């Protein structure tokens, strides 16, 4: 049984390294060099293109950046995969698009499961991702053996598209916590409370969140802003979550989306030349510093 893994970027690469041992894997990425390098590292085979797939592919795992790319890839796959194959979309896609693709796949006799992940590169590297699974019950069950090497918290969410909906909503809450904490810390700093001290207060009290417990210590107060998840991708996810709530009263959601969009504009579009990588989503904190003229990290220089 051959698995084709498509999308070998920051997340796809470590995921393949966890998934490949003991399996026959084909690897494809638009970066042919990345495919060849990773295939050599894991004992897999690099695929030159998706125009002509070899026979025997029973499972396809996608780790792609957005729904438009997923749609174009799945159209190519559905024209070639044999009935009974399984496609698992593990990126952060739009739930409505996922539902359409699942219906198209079903009409071709192909199972389609959405199984987006949370945890970033660090958790991907050790196989401890959180995975949210949507799709038909029988298809979700088939997908489990492929998800097990990648995550330790695998949650069945519901029907097709629900996994992607849950992922977007989770990232919305994550972004809200990050931005809200930035405001709290800048106000505290203006009052003379060092950010590291305020962080200790929050993390030992009811205001703590994953953003304060992990991101501020590892990626913000040290000035690295290197969580590995870009601001543009976070903007995409929160916009998906905002669309899910269309017609409902969601003022906090709307504020968070607006703050991230303004941070992207203020911090640079295009990205400043001193950035060798895309703006990290944790840099929304730097935006809050800029507009308030308060530097949280100044205490590190004192």
Cα-based angle 215, 217, 219 (whole degrees, multiple of 5): 55
Structure tokens at 12: 């796809």
DSSP 19-83: H-TTSEEEEE-SSHHHHHHHHHHHT-EE-S-SSSPPTTEEEEEE--SSHHHHHHHHHHHHTTSPT
Structure tokens at 62: 């996608």
Q: Are 117 and 131 in contact (CB under 8 A)?
A: yes
Burial (Cβ within 10 Å: 0-12, 13-18, ≥19) of residue 126: exposed
Q: Are 19 and 27 in contact (CB under 8 A)?
A: no
Cα-based distances in Å from 296 to 28, 45, 171, 182:
42, 48, 24, 9
For the chain, helix, strand, coil in percent to 5 are 55, 15, 35
Pairwise CA distance, residues 11 & 61, whole Å: 12
Known catalytic residues?
167
DSSP structure class, residue 160: T
């Amino acid at each position: 049984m051959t698995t084709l893994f498509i999308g070998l970027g920051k997340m796809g690469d470590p995921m393949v390294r966890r998934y490949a041992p003991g399996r026959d894997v084909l690897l494809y990425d638009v970066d042919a060099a990345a495919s060849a390098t990773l295939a050599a590292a894991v004992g897999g085979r690099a695929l030159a293109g998706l125009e002509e797939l070899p026979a025997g592919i029973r499972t396809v795992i996608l780790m792609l950046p957005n729904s438009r790319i997923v749609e174009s890839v799945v159209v190519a796959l559905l024209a070639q995969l044999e009935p009974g194959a399984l496609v698992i979309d593990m990126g952060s896609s739009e739930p409505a698009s996922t539902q359409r693709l699942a219906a198209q796949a079903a009409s071709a006799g192909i199972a389609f499961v959405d199984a987006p992940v949370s945890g970033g590169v660090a958790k991907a590297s050790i196989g401890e991702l959180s995975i949210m699974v949507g799709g038909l019950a029988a298809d979700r069950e088939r997908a489990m053996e492929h998800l097990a090497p990648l995550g330790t918290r695998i949650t069945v969410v519901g029907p097709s598209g629900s996994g992607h909906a849950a992922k977007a909503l989770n990232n919305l809450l994550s972004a809200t916590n990050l931005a809200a904490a930035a405001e709290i810390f800048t106000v505290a700093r203006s009052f003379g409370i060092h950010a590291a001290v305020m962080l200790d207060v929050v993390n030992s009290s009811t205001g703590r969140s994953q953003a304060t417990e992990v991101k501020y210590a590892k990626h913000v107060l040290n000035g690295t802003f290197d969580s590995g998840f870009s601001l543009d991708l976070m903007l995409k996810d929160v916009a998906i979550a905002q669309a899910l709530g269309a017609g409902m009263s969601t003022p906090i959601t709307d504020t968070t989306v607006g703050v991230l969009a303004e941070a992207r504009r203020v911090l640079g579009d295009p990205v400043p030349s001193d950035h060798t990588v895309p703006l990290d989503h944790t840099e929304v904190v730097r935006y809050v510093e800029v507009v308030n003229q308060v530097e949280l990290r100044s205490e590190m220089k004192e």
